[in-house]
Every structure is written in structure tokens, then in C-alpha cells.
Amino acid sequence: MTGKAPIIVIGAGQSGQQICDSLRKGGYEGHLMLLGDEASLPYQRPPLSKKFLTGTLEAERLLLRPASYYEQQKIDVHLNARVDSIDRAACRLRLRSGEALAYSGLALATGTRIRPLTVPGAADANIHYVRSLADGERLAAALKNARRVAVIGGGFIGLEVAAIAREQGREVVLIEAFERLMARAVAPQVSAFYAELHRGHGVEVLLGTGVDAIRTVAGEHTVVTSTGAEYTVDLIVAGIGVVPNSELAEAAGLACRNGIVVDDCARTSDPLIVAAGDCTWHMNGFLQREIRLESVQNAVDQAKSAAASLLGQSSVYCQVPWFWSDQYDIKLQIAGIGMPHDQAVLRGDVSSGAFSVCYFRDGVLVGVDSLNKPAEHMAARKLLAQGTPLSAAQAGDTSVDLMQLARGA
Amino acid sequence: MPKVTYRQQDGSEQTIDVPVGWSLMEAAIQNNIAGIIAECGGGCACATCHVYVVDGAKLPPIADMEGDMLECTAAERQPNSRLSCQIKMAADMDGLVVLIPARQT
Ligand SMILES: Cc1cc2nc3c(=O)[nH]c(=O)nc-3n(C[C@H](O)[C@H](O)[C@H](O)COP(=O)(O)OP(=O)(O)OC[C@H]3O[C@@H](n4cnc5c(N)ncnc54)[C@H](O)[C@@H]3O)c2cc1C
Ligand code: FES
């Protein structure tokens, strides 16, 4: 293989690391390069809005693999290396440093970046976001000294940050524009449970409330809401969504639509180029529709298909989506994609704090949210993967053991 | 530092120093121990960090969440099954030996 241009993976995150790993496991012995614009080797992002903020988890413990792994696997990692352009006709890419590199195969795993808050005054308010390790380190330090915190956005990340801030004794106001929390991902009864959970822990939860402006005076920020109320805080954290990093692909003439368009084998329209992870608008073999997902599961499983495609095999990406979120002592686990649905069936007792909600579309189970019910979550993944029929009546009946059903017992 | 031995199905072993407070999963990942996948990174949400404890007296008890997840491991649950992300290293756990199961997914 000497002399042949390397396979290059752009984006040293969860998906990029997995693509490299799967290429080696799949037998690729040639030159393999992993280019990332961050300063760290690939690391886990989920703890950044969770335990990492408590300051008890050192950054090295977040690494997906230690430095020695990349040496052993002969993965040529370049950090602080940003790719600025791809010339597909010449099979070359150009780094910000000016260096040009030829490739024999290319994987795009560029992830997403935060959507910034743009209301008047936002630029001067030193707003914290959580995407990178650097963000997490900055926020962990700021939380230590904060007294009052405003969290803008009641999605997973905002809520996780709010929970940690409360556990550290900070006063917290959480401002969500929708009428309910995590509205894009869960059913109203789950949203309602979380609103009560946070209120019970002392968070002031404002629903159906936008942010109109922020005023900053002498390090204090006053958040003006759409109802005209004002909250003066010393720290603002926003979690209002992300945008896919697809400009690089778009500029190279690859189709992009809310992400880099790929088929169910993670292939772009260019036979030498695949893409995986948060940055892809992909045909999902399991869901049988196009979607963009932001999860570890998607980053890992789609990466495996991407690596196979680079090796000339075809491995359809057809895995049950799953996700989790930790808030206080409640672990939310999501299997499948419950949105949209036409029926949501409660399983168990909401007041116990441990229950599931099963989502159906046209009578077919499409997703299950489990709160402190990990066994039901795992059973749901199995049921969904196998397509085992489950009726709404069975779903609501806790005497029906989902795992037994999944195992066909 | 307390030491932990990770044994593979073929009998091969690696003994490593594990900082107190780290989980057995974290130590395995940071030392390139094969067979611990840990997709959720220690969130007790994936059960791909399953181990069998071969020799170890002073382990913390199995909490409810861990017990539930252990029902869902890819390799069969045995009485000595644990999730390595839920075992935090303590000084008196020195000499622990764990066996890595044949499969995690
Ligand atoms: C705070 C937080 C909490 C989360 N919690 C959960 C959770 O509980 N459960 C869950 O399943 N998921 C969670 N996620 C989502 C999960 O972390 C992502 O889905 C996953 O990291 C996506 O992996 P990826 O490789 O696609 O993208 P990333 O991990 O974002 O990696 C992309 C990398 O590419 C780099 N890059 C981009 N463009 C270029 C370029 N031109 N040149 C070089 N490098 C480039 C980026 O800087 C980045 O390092 C969370 C995410 C965050 C931020
Ligand atoms: S790492 Fe996921 S359960 Fe242990």
C-alpha cells in the first residue's frame, strides 16, 4: 500500500474515532489520518453537561481512547488542524495552515456547532454554551463562583446544566420558549414530570417564555423575557440547539440539507467520500426515513457503516436509535424515535418517579421513554430491533414483562 | 495505587494501577483493555462494560439501576456479574481480578 494516498477522516470526535477504529478492525492497513480542529484527542461530550461540571472528573477521563491507542493502531492524528476546503476533482484537501493533503478515501465526521443566542445584548453577556471540552471547563469554573444562573433553553443540555447548578446550590431560572420542556423529543406527560422535578428542586421554570434582550452592567446580566419580567443573574448558559457543520461539504459540491446528505450506507454522492454522525442528513435504515440525529448511538453505529463503505463493503445503517439524559437522580432513556406519534401509553406510576411511556404510530410501537426503568429501556430496544408486536394494552400493563416478551419467552 | 487484573476469555491477563476514585471501566479504556466497550461512557445506560468479578471481596453493593441493567447484558448474567463503570476504585480493592465476557453487544 506504500505510496498510496491515505484515507483521511475529518473531525476527531465520537464518530471520527469510531470510523478509524472500524477501518482498522475491518482490515485496512494503509495510511490513516484523523484530522481535528480541537486541541484534544477525541473525547466524550455527554459528561460535559453532567458530571464534568461538578469539577470532580479530570479531562483525561473523558478521552474515548488514550494516546497510546492511536500509536498502536497507527492512526496519524493531527489536532488543531482545521480543514478549510476539499478539491474533489484532485482528491485533495487543504488545511487552514495552508498544507495540502491527498486522499484515497475521505470521511466527514464534522459534527455540529452551537446555535448562538442573537437577541439584543447577547454578544456582551459572556453567554456560556456547552459543546466542547473547552466550553465545559469554562462553565465548570464559572459555576463555582456564580450565585444566580439563568439557563436559556429547556432541552436536554439546558436541563442537565440546570440540575447540576441546583445541586451545587446555585439559584436557577430556566427559560423555555415552548409551552413544555424537551418538546421535540418527549410526550407532554414526560415534559410535565420534568417541569415538576425541576420545580421541586427549586428551579424557577418559565415555559412559553422567550428572551427579548439581555443587559449587562458591571458583570451582572439582566435577562428580559417576552412577558416583560427581568431576571438579574451573574451567569447565563444557553442551550438552544446546534447547526450541522456541513459547509465544508457544501462548498465541495456535495448535497446538503440540514446536514450532509448520505444514503443508508453513509455514502455521499462521491464514491470516495462518506459521512457519519451529527453532521449527516441520512437515510436511516431502521426508521426508513431521512433524519438527522444527535446522539452517541448514531455517531458510533453510522460510523461503522461509513467505514465499511470506505472498504468497499456495504453495511446498511439500521440500528434502533437510543439516547439518555441524567437530571438529578432521574435517568431518562429513550429507545426509538417517539416523535411523531398518535398514541402515548403510560406504563407504571408517574408519582413513583420510575415509569415508561410507550409511543405508537398507526398501532405500531415506535419509541419508548423510560425514567429510572433501565430494564424496560433495554427491553424496548430489543422489541424495536426485532419488530416484536406489542399492543397498546400490553404496553400499559405492567404485569406484562417486556424483556420476556422480547426474548420470546 | 491499587492494582486490578483484567482477564480475557483466552486466559491472557493485564494488571494495571487504577487511581482511587476511577471506575474499573475508565481504567480499562485508558489502558487499552480489549472487550470493554462502554458506549455510554459510564452512564449506566448501555451495559457494554460488563465484567465477571473473579476475585474481589470488598466491592460496593449493586445499586438498583446497575442491577436492572445487568439483566440486559449481551453475555449471560452470572452471580458475579457487574458493570465495570459502576465500580469505583478504593484502596482496599487492591488485587481485584475481573474476567471480560465473550461479548458486549
Ligand atoms: C453537552 C452535551 C451533552 C450530550 N449528551 C448526550 C447524551 O447524554 N447522550 C447522547 O447519546 N448524546 C449526547 N450528546 C450528543 C453526542 O455527544 C454527539 O451526538 C456526538 O458527540 C456526535 O459525534 P460526532 O463525531 O458526530 O460529532 P462531534 O463529537 O461534535 O465531533 C466533530 C468534530 O469535528 C471537528 N470539526 C468540525 N469541522 C472540522 C473541520 N473543518 N476540520 C477539522 N475538524 C473539524 C469538531 O470540532 C469536532 O471536534 C451530547 C452532546 C453535548 C454537546
Ligand atoms: S459504560 Fe455504559 S453501562 Fe457502563
A300 touches chain B (CB under 8 A): yes
Q: Which of B22, B5, B13 is nearest to B91 (CA)?
A: B22
Question: Does the structure show a pLDDT above 60 at A192?
Answer: yes
CA atoms of A367 and A393, how far apart (whole Å): 15
Record the cell numbers describing residue A279, joined without a space: 453532521
Question: Does the structure show a pLDDT above 50 at A2?
Answer: no
Q: Which of B29, B32, B45 sits opposite A72 (nearest CB)?
A: B32
Please compute the mean of the pLDDT values over residues A48-74 and round it to a whole number.
Answer: 95
State the DSSP string of A138-193: HHHHHHHH-SEEEEE--SHHHHHHHHHHHHTT-EEEEE-SSSSTTTTTS-HHHHHH
Does residue A15 have its Cβ closer than 6 Å to ligand 1?
A: yes
Q: What pLDDT, on a 0 to 100 scale, did the predictor assign at position A1? A: 43
Judged by CB atoms closer than 8 Å, whether chains meet at A60 and B30 is answered as yes
Q: What pLDDT, on a 0 to 100 scale, did the predictor assign at position A159? A: 98
Residues, chain A:
409
Which CATH superfamily is A122-238 part of?
FAD/NAD(P)-binding domain (3.50.50.60)
Contact B9, B98 (CB under 8 A): no
Question: Does the structure show a pLDDT above 50 at A18?
Answer: yes
- Taken in order of first residue, the domains within chain B and their CATH numbers are 3-99 (3.10.20.30)
Does residue A245 have its Cβ closer than 6 Å to ligand 1?
A: yes
What are the C-alpha distances in Å from B18 to residues A218, B25, B26, B34, B90?
46, 10, 9, 16, 9
Judged by CB atoms closer than 8 Å, whether chains meet at B29 and A63 is answered as yes
Give residue-wise pLDDT tens across range A147-190.
999 999 999 999 999 999 999 999 999 999 999 999 999 999 99
Q: What pLDDT, on a 0 to 100 scale, did the predictor assign at position B32? A: 95
Please compute the mean of the pLDDT values over residues A238-249 and round it to a whole number.
Answer: 98
Does residue A130 have its Cβ closer than 6 Å to ligand 1?
A: yes
Q: What pLDDT, on a 0 to 100 scale, did the predictor assign at position B55? A: 80
Q: What pLDDT, on a 0 to 100 scale, did the predictor assign at position A408? A: 86
B53 touches chain A (CB under 8 A): no
Size of interface A-B (CB pairs under 8 A): 58
Beta-ladder partners of A359: A344, A367
Question: Does the structure show a pLDDT above 80 at A343?
Answer: yes
| SS3 category, A385 | helix
Q: What pLDDT, on a 0 to 100 scale, did the predictor assign at position B56? A: 74
Contact A233, A148 (CB under 8 A): yes
What residue spans in chain A does CATH classification 3.30.390.30 cover?
A: 329-406
- CATH of the domain spanning A329-406: 3.30.390.30
Pocket test for ligand 2, best of B36, B65, B85, B98 (most atoms within 8 A of CB): B85
| SS3 category, A12 | coil
Q: What pLDDT, on a 0 to 100 scale, did the predictor assign at position A123? A: 96
State the DSSP string of A32-82: EEEE-SSSSSSB-SGGGGTGGGGT-S-GGGGBSS-HHHHHHTTEEEESS--
CA atoms of B50 and B30, how far apart (whole Å): 16
Judged by CB atoms closer than 8 Å, whether chains meet at A66 and B22 is answered as no
A331 touches chain B (CB under 8 A): yes
* Half-sphere exposure for A197 (CA within 13 Å, toward CB): 26
Give residue-wise pLDDT tens across range A71-123.
999 999 999 999 999 999 999 999 999 999 999 999 999 999 999 999 999 99
Nearest CA in chain B to A63: B30
Judged by CB atoms closer than 8 Å, whether chains meet at A375 and B30 is answered as no
B16 touches chain A (CB under 8 A): no
Question: Does the structure show a pLDDT above 70 at A278?
Answer: yes
Please compute the mean of the pLDDT values over residues A125-148 and round it to a whole number.
Answer: 97
Please compute the mean of the pLDDT values over residues A290-318 and round it to a whole number.
Answer: 97
Of the listed ligands, the closest to the CA of A107 is: 1
Contact A371, A355 (CB under 8 A): yes
Q: What pLDDT, on a 0 to 100 scale, did the predictor assign at position B58? A: 78
Distance of CA A31 from the midpoint of ligand 2 (Å): 32
Contact A336, A368 (CB under 8 A): yes
- Prediction ipTM score: 0.93
A158 Cβ contact partners less than 8 Å away, ≥ 6 residues apart = A151, A152, A174, A176, A237, A238, A239, A240
Backbone angles phi, psi at A212, to 5 degrees: -95, -35
Domain at A7-113+243-310: CATH architecture: 3-Layer(bba) Sandwich (3.50)
With a cut of 70, which residues of chain B have pLDDT below it?
57
A74 Cβ contact partners less than 8 Å away, ≥ 6 residues apart = A24, A32
Distance of CA A239 from the midpoint of ligand 2 (Å): 26
A372 touches chain B (CB under 8 A): yes
Q: What is the pTM of this model?
A: 0.97
Express as a percent the part of chain A with pLDDT over 90.
97
Burial classification of residue A368, based on how many CB atoms lie within 10 Å of its CB (0-12 exposed, 13-18 middle, 19 or more buried): buried
Q: What pLDDT, on a 0 to 100 scale, did the predictor assign at position B5? A: 96
Contact A183, A177 (CB under 8 A): no
Question: Does the structure show a pLDDT above 70 at A3?
Answer: no
Record the cell numbers describing residue A11, joined without a space: 473531525
Please compute the mean of the pLDDT values over residues A274-293 and round it to a whole number.
Answer: 97
Mean pLDDT over each residue of chain A, to the nearest integer: 96
What residue spans in chain A does CATH classification 3.50.50.60 cover?
A: 7-113+243-310, 122-238
What are the C-alpha distances in Å from A267 to residues A11, A12, A93, A273, A311?
17, 19, 18, 7, 12
A69 contacts in B (CB within 8 Å)? 32
B30 touches chain A (CB under 8 A): yes
CA atoms of B88 and B47, how far apart (whole Å): 16
Phi-psi region of A7 (alpha: psi -120 to 50; beta: other; left: phi over 0): beta
Q: Which atom of ligand 1 is nearest to the CA of A15?
A: 25
Record the cell numbers describing residue A153, joined without a space: 433553553
